[in-house]
Structure 1
Amino acid sequence: MKRAKGTPDLIFTLLIFTLVLFGLVMIFSASQYTSYVQYHTVWYYFKKQLLWSVFGTIAFLLALAYDYRKLRRYTGPLILIAVILCILVVFVGVEVKGAQRQLRFGWLNISPSEVLKFAIIIFLAKHFQKNYQYITDFKKGFLPVVIIMALADLLVLLQKDLGTTLAISGTVFALLMIAGAKPSHLTGLGILGILGVLGAIFLEEYRRKRLIGFWYLLIGDENKLKGYEAVIYQVKQSLYAIGSGGIFGVGLGRSHQKMFYLPEQHTDFIFAIIGEELGLVGTIFVVSLFLAILYRGLKLAHWAPDVFGFFLVAGFTCMMVIPALINIAVATGVFPVTGIPLPFISYSGSSLIINMTAAGIIVNVSCYRRGRSEF
C-alpha cells in the first residue's frame, strides 16, 4: 500500500472529530430519558453510538492510509453493490419511520442509500475526470450525470425516502455547478427537480398532508391547521424546544421536550434538543462547524493535485453539508419533515461510518495537495 505524501490537513480533521465528540455528548443528553424507559439504562444509545464512532474512526484511518487514486478501479463494483443493496431493501428491508430503508444482518443495520451516496460521488469524480472538457456539452457531459442522478433518486424513492433523494440530488446539482455546467442546463434541471419533488409528494397521501400542514403552519392559519395537527406535531414540538432554549439554553441534560414530547429527539430532531439545552449559542456552534467544513473542504478541493481528487473532495464535502442544511431547515420549521439525520451528530451508525470514511478520503487527498489545482 502506497503511503500518502505530505501531512494530512489538521484543520479539517479537527472539525470532523469535534462534530463526532459533540454528537456523542448530545446523543447521551437527548436519549438518556428514552433509553432508561425502554432499556432501564441511560447508556444504551450512547454506548451504541460510541461503538459506531470507534468503527467510524477505523474507517477514517483506513481511508486516510489508502491511496485515493486507486479508488477509480473500484467504481463499477461499488455502484453495483450499492444498487443491489437498494433493490434488496425494497423487498426484505426493515421499515424505519415509515420508509423501507434498512437491511438487517444480525445486530448490524445498513442503510443502502448511504452506500449509494458514497458510490455515486466516486463514480462522478471518475466521470468528470474523463469528461471534464465536455461539461458544457449537454449530450456528452451534462446528460450522463443527470441520468445517473435520476436512477439513484428512483432507487431511493422506491424506499420511500424523500429526504435522502433530496440530499443526493442536491449534491449532484452542486457538483455540476462546481464543474461549470451551463446556467441554462442547471436552470432546466432545477425546474425538473422541483416538479419531480412535487410529484413525489402528491403521489403519497402522508407527504401531501405534511406539505399542506406545513404550509398552514407557515402562514399561521390556526383554523385550517386543526385537521393537520398529527402530521406537523414534530415540527411544532421542535419549535417549542428551540424557542424555549433562548440564547444560552436551559442547560445540558435539562431538556423537557426529550421526555417523549419530541419524537426522534436523538436522531432526526437532535438539533432541536441542542437549541433547547444550549440555546442560540449551541445552534450557532453547530452551524458554524458545518460552514467551516464547507469552506475548508472546498479549499482542499481547490488544492487537490488532480481532477479526480478535486471532485472527490468537493463531492464528499457537499455530501456532508447538504443533508445538514436540510436537517436544520426541518428542525427550525423552514422545510417540511423529510426524515434525514444530522451528519456526525444524530444517532445513526450507517451515516456516521460512511461520512467518516468520506472524511478520511478528503484528508487523504489533502496529503497530496499543492498550491493550486491543475485547471
Structure 2
Amino acid sequence: MVRQKKAPAARRRPMSREEALARQERQQRRRELEQESRELAKGPIDLPFFILVMLLTGVGLVMLLSASFPSAYYETDGQNPMSYFIRQGVFAIMGVAAMLFIGKINYQRFRGLAKPLLYLAVILLILVIVPGNPLAITRNNATRWLGIPGTSLQFQPSEIAKLAVVIYFADSISKKKDRMQTFRYGIAPYAVLLIVLAALVGIEPHLSGAILIMGAGAVMMLVGGIHWRWVGLAMGAAGLLLYLVLGVIGYNASRIEMWHNPWLDPQGAGYQLRQSLITIGSGGLWGVGLGKSRQKFLYLPEEHNDFIFAIVCEELGLIGATVIMLLFAALILRGFWIALHARDRFGSLMVVGVMTLVGLQTFLNIGVVTGLLPTTGISLPFFSYGGTALSIQLAEMGIVLSVSRQMKPTKAG
C-alpha cells in the first residue's frame, strides 16, 4: 500500500517592514493607553453620584424599617420585629463596601468578566427552571430564586443576568464601531442573546425581569450605533409579543382585568392593587408621619417589598414621595452625565446599561404601585427588601464610580 505524502502546510507570508512597524506602533499605543488608564484610575470618584447613592440607600433602610416591623413582629411571634431591617442593613454594609472596592478598580479589567459572567448567568437561569432542582425556590407560583441548602441565603439569577448583559454588551459593542450598522454584526448576535435570556427569565415566570433585560440591551444597542429602523422594528415586535402573551395566550389575564378595575374582585385578584391605592390616598399631601402607617399592619401585601413605595406615600405624603422620586431622577441623570463624559465607548456603554436598569426598574415599580401599569413582581431599587439584590445594585453603582474616575475634563461654569 503506497502512502500518500501530506501536502506541505501553507506558510505564512513574511511580514513586510511597513506592516511590522505598524504592528509595533499599535502595540506601543496599546501600552500607552493602558498606562494612561492606570494613572487616570487613581482619580477621584464623582462625589454627587456617590452622595445620591448613599442618600437613597439610607432613606431606603429607614423606610424598610418602618414598613417591615409589623410583618417581622408577626412572623417571629414578637421576638424580633427588626429582623428584616437587620438583615437588609448587613447586606447594605456589604454592598457599600463592594461599591467602594469596585469603584477603585480600573474598569478596563471588567472586560475579562464579560464572557465568564454571561456563561454563569445562563447556567444559573437554566438551574432555576430545571424540574425537581432542590436549589430552586418557588414563591407565589413563580420559581425565580436559588438558595444554598442549610442557609438563608437566596438570590435571583436574573439579577446576575442583567449585570452580565451590561458588561458583555459594553465590551462587544465597543469593539465594533461602524459594524453595528449591519444586521449580521450589529443586530443578529445581540438580538438572539437577548431573546434567549429573556425567554429563560420569562419561563420562571418573571415578566418584569425579562423586560429589564430586553430594555437595557436595546438601549445599549441604540447607543452603540444601530440604525433607528431596527429600533422601530424591535419595538413593533415587542409590542406584538406582549399582546400575544397578555391577550391571546392569556398570561396573567386576571392581572390585566384587575388592573383596569381592581374593585371587580376587591377581596381576591384585585385586593393588592386596591389596598395599594388606598394606602397612597391615605397619605394625602404631607403624609400621616414616619412610622405611623396603618396599612402596613398586614392590610397591604408585600408592604416591605414590591409595594414599599405605597408606604412611602402614606407616611411621607405626596411631598415626601415627590422628593424621593426627584432623588431617583437626579441619580439617573447624573449617571447618564457620567456616561457622556466617559473616557471611552466601553465605559460609556457600561454606565448607560447600569443606569437604564435603575431607571427602568424604578419607573416600572412606581407604575405598578400607583396602578399606571399592570401588577407584576418588581422591586424598588435601594428600598425593597432583598439583601442580595441590594448588594448587586450597590456593586453596579461601583462600576459607575469606577468609570467616573477616568472622566474627560469638563469646562468649569
CA distance in 1, matches of 2:299, 2:249: 26
Cα shift at 1:68: 1.0
Aligned with residue 46 of structure 1, among 85, 100, 105 = 85
> After superposition, where does 1:146-225 map in structure 2 within 5 Å?
146-202=191-247, 207-217=252-262, 225=264
Deviation at 1:333, TM superposition (A): 0.3
Deviation at 1:46, TM superposition (A): 0.4
Quick one: which amino acid aligns to residue 375 of structure 2? Answer: V
Instruction: Give yes or no for contact 1:213–1:229 (8 Å, CA) kept in 2.
Output: no
CA deviations 1:97-122 (Å, max 9, x no partner) are 32101111122101100000001100
The CA distance in 2 between the partners of 1:358 and 1:203, in whole Å, is 37
Q: CA deviation at 1:147?
A: 1.4
Deviates more, 1:197-206 or 1:351-360: 197-206
CA distance in 2, matches of 1:312, 1:14: 20
- 1:74 aligned residue: 113
Q: Deviations over 1:190-209 (max 9, x none)?
A: 11112222333357756011
Structure exhibiting the larger radius of gyration computed from Cα positions: 2
CA RMSD of aligned residues (A): 1.8
Q: Tell me the distance in 1 between the aligned counterparts of 2:326 and 2:217.
A: 23
Paired position in structure 1 for 2:185: 140
> Take 1:192 and 1:349, find their aligned partners in 2: how far apart are those partners?
35
Q: Which amino acid aligns with 1:141?
A: G
Q: Tell me, yes or no, if the aligned pair for 1:67 and 1:364 is still in contact at 8 Å.
A: yes
Residue 362 of structure 2 is matched in structure 1 by 324
Do structure 1's residue 22 and structure 2's residue 67 form an aligned pair? no
DSSP 3-state at the match of 1:357:
helix
**Partner letter of residue 173 of structure 2?**
F
Quick check: which one's helix share is greater?
A: 1
**2:3 alignment partner in structure 1:** none
Q: For residues 80-95 of structure 1, what are the structure 2 equivalents within 5 Å?
A: 80-91=119-130, 92=133, 93-95=136-138
Tell me the residue number matched to 2:5.
none
Q: Which runs of 5+ in 1 are unaligned?
A: none
Report the residue type matching 2:47 in the other structure: L
Would the aligned equivalents of 2:174 and 2:224 in 1 still touch at CA under 8 Å? no
Aligned amino acid, residue 370 of structure 1: K
Q: Which moved more, 1:111-120 or 1:65-74?
A: 65-74
Q: Would you say 1:313 and 2:351 are equivalent positions?
A: yes
Aligned residue number for residue 113 of structure 1: 158
Letter in 2 for 1:293: L
Asked whether the 8 Å contact 1:142–1:181 carries over to 2, the reply is yes
Instruction: Say whether the 8 Å CA contact 2:245–2:251 is kept in structure 1.
Output: no
1:101 — aligned with what? Answer: 144
Distance 2:325 2:178 in 1: 35
CA distance in structure 2 between the aligned counterparts of 1:86 and 1:340, rounded to whole angstroms: 18
SS of 1:135's equivalent in the other structure is helix
In 2, the alpha carbon distance for the partners of 1:7 and 1:145 equals 34
- Shift, 1:170, TM fit: 1.7
Cα distance, 1:131–1:229 mapped onto 2, change above 3 Å: farther
Any idea what the Cα deviations from partners look like across 1:216-268, whole Å, max 9, x if unmatched?
35xxxx6xx24x75222111111111111011101111111111111000000
Match of 2:390 among 352, 359, 364: 352
Q: 1:363 aligns with which of 391, 401, 405?
A: 401
Per the normalisation by structure 2, the TM-score is 0.85
Q: Name the amino acid aligned to 1:7.
A: P
Sort the Cα spacing of 1:206 and 1:254 in 2 relative to 1 into closer, same or farther, 3 A.
farther
Q: Cα offset for 1:348?
A: 1.1
Alignment partner of 1:31 out of 68, 87, 108: 68
Matched, 1:11 2:54: no
Candidates 101, 118, 135, aligned match of 1:62: 101
Equivalent position amino acid for 1:361 in 2:
I
Aligned match for 2:325, one of 287, 291, 311 = 287
Unmatched 5+ residue regions in structure 2?
Answer: 1-36
1:56-87 deviations in Å (ceiling 9; x for gaps): 11211221122210111121110111111111
**Contact preservation (8 Å) 2:177, 2:225:** no
CA deviation vs aligned residue, 1:279-304 (integer Å, no higher than 9, x gap)? 01121112111111111111100111
Residue aligning to 1:276:
314
Instruction: Determine if contact 2:50/2:401 at 8 Å carries over to the other structure.
Output: yes
1:55 CA drift (Å): 1.3
Give the stretch that moved more between structures: 24-33 or 97-106.
Answer: 97-106
Separation (CA, whole Å) in 1 of partners of 2:243 and 2:56: 33
By how many angstroms is 1:175 displaced? 2.0
Partners in 1 of 2:86 and 2:143 — Cα distance?
A: 25
Code of the residue aligned with 1:208 in structure 2: it is A
Please give the alpha-carbon distance, in whole angstroms, between the structure 2 residues aligned to 1:123 and 1:210. Answer: 34
Identity of matched residues, %: 35
What does 1:226-237 correspond to in 2, within 5 Å? 226=265, 230-237=268-275
TM superposition score normalised by structure 1:
0.93
Q: Deviations over 1:13-65 (max 9, x none)?
A: 11111111111100000011111111122211000100110111121122112
Matched residue type, 1:235: L
Change (3 A) 1:204 1:251: farther
| 1:158 counterpart letter in structure 2 | I
Contact kept? 1:235, 1:333, Cα under 8 Å = yes
Give the letter aligned to residue 104 of structure 1.
G
Deviations 1:313-332 (A, max 9, x none): 11111111111110000000
1:2, 1:66 within 8 Å by CA — same for their partners in 2? no
